[in-house]
Chains A and B, each alone.
Chain A
Amino acid sequence: MADKTFIVKIKRQQRPDEAVRWEEYELRYRPHMNVIICLRDIAEKPFTRSGSESTPVSYEANCLEEICGACAMIVNGKPRQACTALVDDLEKPIRLEPLTKFPLIRDLQVDRSSMFENLKRTKCWIPIDGTYDLGPGPRMSPETQEVGYALSQCITCGNCLEICPKVNEHSNFVGAAIVSQVRLFNMHPTGAMHAGPRLEALMGPGGIEDCDNAQNCVKVCPKGIPLTESLAAVNGQVLVHAVKSFFRGS
């Protein structure tokens, strides 16, 4: 009996300045396959559907369980994690494209370091080191822990930026993920001591004001993070900070 097969179409580019080409691969179906398995199958036997020899597809993946964020790509038109995109659930032929809001490296691999730069710019960490032992920090209420836990699950995949109409070459918007991290670190009792500089950073170009409430981010976040709540909450924090520091000095 012939093996059951299915088609995967991949948008490929050797280099960012090279012309785009779409390649089609016919893969042998096995139960419970995900998109990463498809890409590995291609790497094993890089022959397109028409039989011409190609090269293994470039992509990123690490954890294979939706906790590292590396494998974000556009699967059938929607930004999502390839490792949890199951072949059984996907419409065929499966179409794979790289994220478009980050510089392309090759094939499905993009450079998402701008997110890391923006986390640094918005001071998304909690300073706990001193020249002497600072002792234990203030306690955190269970309610705060609960809200914070949901926010802390961000895997910096970039799907929320990919889907946002305000993230593009006409705007520097940092995106929902970064704003949500600012909320997380401002909520932490030690982190709250440095809320001011984080809010200041979000007042600059590309900051919170660029959000125009299309609310797409929350639809594509693989971790179900309440991004629209984070955006509204931080918007309020920035406003209060701006008014206070103008009228009373910071």
Chain B
Amino acid sequence: MSVAATDSKTSYLLDKLQSLSGVIPIGAFLAEHFWSNSYALVSVGKYNDVSRELQQIPWRIFVETCVLFIPILFHGLYGIYIWWTGKSNAIGHPWMANWLYVLQRWTGIIAFVFIGWHLYTERFLGHGVTSYADVQRSLLNPWYLTFYIVGITCASFHLGNGLWNFACKWGIAVSVPAQRAAGWFGAAVAVAFTFIGVAIVLALHYGAFPMGSYVQ
């Protein structure tokens, strides 16, 4: 540790943007993504309608670039830099929040690799026009299915724990009880997202429609 020699505000701005980008747009997109893919639980027709709707939005490539590609790349790459500026000691001092610090980093990198692969196989190889049948075909492969479940679990944990971090680091939850409440909220988000995400890929894998009765 040393005394910093400059008063540049760049690192403050970049750190705040990294933190914000985890919630908006990346976290918000994850919620939207799980929402639209939940149509896989309803029916093939609904799923394909919703996918086509999303695949035909105006300004698509600009929206994808500004709302997804750039934020995820920035959050992930800058996140790796933040990781490098820390030196974990959770093995010698195994307190819960200290482990969460480590897990936030490992789940982040796993989610990053997963998202990259997922984008490549589903977005770019399919030229942005994938249907229920295409997604189901990839999920029939047990290795793909496993990677999906791992990726979804990591992304969901990372979002839930990230929301707790966010609440503390933006001065929203200040008191110890408020920080604890934010922690429970984050845990609930992590569990709910994992459950919904895994339900979607399992439904696709088995071709099951547990909410099929919604279609009259």
A contact residues vs B (CB 8 Å cutoff): 77-78, 101-102, 114, 117-118, 121, 161, 163, 165-168, 170-175, 200-201, 203-207, 209-216, 219, 226, 228-229, 231-240, 242
Contact = CB atoms under 8 A, between A and B. Distances in A.
Grouping DSSP codes into helix (H, G, I), strand (E, B) and loop, the B interface class, with mixed when no group exceeds half, is: loop
10 contacts: A166-B86, A171-B86, A204-B12, A215-B97, A216-B93, A226-B176, A228-B168, A229-B174, A229-B179, A235-B168
B98 interface: yes
B4 A204 contact: yes
Nearest to B99: A214
A13 to B, nearest CB: 19
Contact of A118 (B3, B7, B87, B95): B3
Contacts of B98: 165, 214-216
Interface of B: 1-4, 6-9, 11-12, 15-16, 82, 84-89, 92-93, 95, 97-98, 100-101, 164-165, 168-176, 179
A154 to B, nearest CB: 17
Contacts, number: 130
B93 A205 contact: no
Given A118-B3, A163-B89, A236 B12 contact: no
A165 B88 CA distance: 5
A194 to B, nearest CB: 16
Given A77-B92, A114-B2, A172-B1, A232 B173 contact: yes
Contacts of A102: 1
Contacts of A205: 4, 6, 8, 11
Contact of A236 (B84, B165, B170): B170
Contact of A203 (B3, B12, B95, B169): B12
